[in-house]
Amino acid sequence: MRFDGLIGNYGIKKTLNTPFHAYIIHGPKGSGKHTLERILTASLLCRSEDKPCGKCSQCKKYYSGNHVDVSYIPTDMKVKDFREKLKDASYLPNEAEHRVFVFYDADKLSVACQNALLKIVEEPPSGSVFIFLTENAGAMLATIRSRCKMIAMEPVSEDEIYAYLQTSAYAGVPDEKKRAAIAFSDGYIGAALDFLSKKKSDVYSKCQNFADALINNRMIEAIRLSTFKKREDLVEFTKELYDYFTVHMRSLKSGTTEGLNENVIALGQEKLARLCVRLDKLQEKANANVNISLFSTAIIANCLPIIREKQ
């Protein structure tokens, strides 16, 4: 099978050469689960030697989004409807060698649905292949897991992510922003891309100014920057501020702090770790029914004492 479209993940590429009847692809958001699933599905349908060729009739049908032998099964169904959907799996494939059933967010499958799957995954009908994608493989029944090939997405090296970004729509973004995205990504390209998306970058600058204002004791500015009229803006800011401190903490850990905010780096790893814990809790509160006009004070009251502590 050809896995050129998947960056890194060399261990996975080696193990996938022999087809299996059921897979659980797991890893955090942005780790490449969907990319791998698309390559795997195309490979199972492709008629050429070098799979997936992207050129044969099977590949073309798949990539144009209408291959009859591929079904995406919703994972939030009632067990009765779910069983109905699974009936298709007992028929032979229409055109390809395999019939592929894909389940996104497989951890959302109820126990009843997973039990309905058990027998079919244990003794799969000829030609049927099941692919489950999840951020949390632990939420799936052990009896299902033991019958599937487990594929854990692997983090990618910083150099590989950088090289990928250079070929992406973000090639023109300043290097310091790319470095921050890589530090934030934890080795997952999707997370780096998410970080670089335009809307996020605007909030990122706001966090930068807020951190500077706090560190330099410009309280009126800090209050102005962290006061919001809409809850969704408050939630976004709190999450972004958590990400902002996380980037700096991880960069300090990996020793690549180039392009990041020196004032924040100077706080040191230990203070940054504690700020992240506080902001993690504040994220939950921002989502809950708190008074948003007072929340700015809560953010500042949580961050300031840590920032002011003597080293």
Task: Report, in Å, the least distance between residue 42 CB and Zn ion.
Answer: 7
Residue 207 burial by CB count (10 A; 0-12/13-18/19+): exposed, middle or buried? buried
Residue type present at position 273: A
Residues forming a β-bridge with 99: 128
Q: Which stretch binds Zn ion (CB under 5 A): 55-63, 68-76, 196-204, 281-289?
A: 55-63
From residue 24 to residue 53, the character string flagging contacts with Zn ion as x (rule: CB under 5 A) and all else as - is ----------------------x-x----x
Closest alpha carbon to 205 in 124, 261, 285, 151: 261
Judged by CB under 5 A, does residue 56 bind Zn ion?
yes
Judged by CB under 5 A, does residue 7 bind Zn ion?
no
Task: Quote the CA–CA distance of 139 and 145 in Å, as a whole number.
Answer: 10
Closest alpha carbon to 114 in 151, 139, 141: 141
Please say which residue, 46 or 267, places its beta carbon nearer to Zn ion. 46
Q: Which stretch binds Zn ion (CB under 5 A): 57-65, 81-89, 117-125, 160-168?
A: 57-65
Residues that bind Zn ion (rule: CB under 5 A) add up to a total of 5
Task: Report, in Å, the least distance between residue 73 CB and Zn ion.
Answer: 24
Q: Where are the alpha helices (DSSP H) in 141-255?
A: 142-145, 158-166, 175-185, 189-196, 198-215, 219-225, 231-254
Please say which residue, 56 or 116, places its beta carbon nearer to Zn ion. 56
Q: Which stretch binds Zn ion (CB under 5 A): 58-66, 147-155, 196-204, 265-273?
A: 58-66
Please say which residue, 53 or 235, places its beta carbon nearer to Zn ion. 53
For 31, 181, 191, the CA distances from 194, given in Å and listed in that order, are: 11, 8, 5
Asked whether the bond before 52 is cis by omega within 30 degrees of 0, the reply is yes
Please say which residue, 99 or 206, places its beta carbon nearer to Zn ion. 99
Judged by CB under 5 A, does residue 129 bind Zn ion?
no
- Give the N- to C-terminal CA distance of the chain in Å, as an integer: 54
For 16, 147, 211, the CA distances from 94, given in Å and listed in that order, are: 24, 25, 59
Please say which residue, 54 or 125, places its beta carbon nearer to Zn ion. 54
Q: Are strands 70-72 and 99-103 parallel, antiparallel or unpaired?
A: parallel
Please say which residue, 56 or 304, places its beta carbon nearer to Zn ion. 56
With tokens 């997936």, the residue in question is 52
From residue 148 to residue 187, the character string flagging contacts with Zn ion as x (rule: CB under 5 A) and all else as - is ----------------------------------------
Judged by CB under 5 A, does residue 191 bind Zn ion?
no
Please say which residue, 57 or 166, places its beta carbon nearer to Zn ion. 57
Judged by CB under 5 A, does residue 59 bind Zn ion?
yes
Give the phi and the psi of residue 255 in degrees, each rounded to 5: 80, 15
Residues in contact with Zn ion by the rule CB under 5 A: 46, 48, 53, 56, 59
